[in-house]
Amino acid sequence: MNFTLLVTVVLTAVLFVAIVMVLAKLLAPRSFNKQKEEPYECGIPARGDQWSHYHLGYYLFAILFLMFDVETMFLFPWAVVARSLGPQGLLAVVFFLFILVLGLAYAWRKGALKWH
């Protein structure tokens, strides 16, 4: 039942967007001129290629996120049974978390958290 519902919800979202879009396309006017189809940049024609080389200051954060997100994922199964595992489980996880914190500290120290 749950997966049927999951599909239903996804379908709902897609249908909702699709139907509204069709309705909007039916109702809305269309007009054409050359300037309309150019990118907006405060009323000035854009210079150069829009998809030109853009310095991504954020990619380091993406990599860090990937790392930490996967690590925290491992914590979830433990969290569910944390109560029954008791202090012993906690000790194991603290060790794991310690490594995580070490990783963060390393990234911090290396200046990966500094915005470039």
Query: 116 near 57, Cβ under 8 Å?
Result: yes
- Kindly state the smallest distance separating residue 78's Cβ from another protein, in Å: 8
C-alpha to C-alpha distance for 116 and 112, rounded to whole angstroms: 9
Structure tokens at 47: 């210079």
Q: Which of 59, 56, 71 is nearest to 104 (CA)?
A: 71
- Kindly state the smallest distance separating residue 109's Cβ from another protein, in Å: 12
- Kindly state the smallest distance separating residue 6's Cβ from another protein, in Å: 6
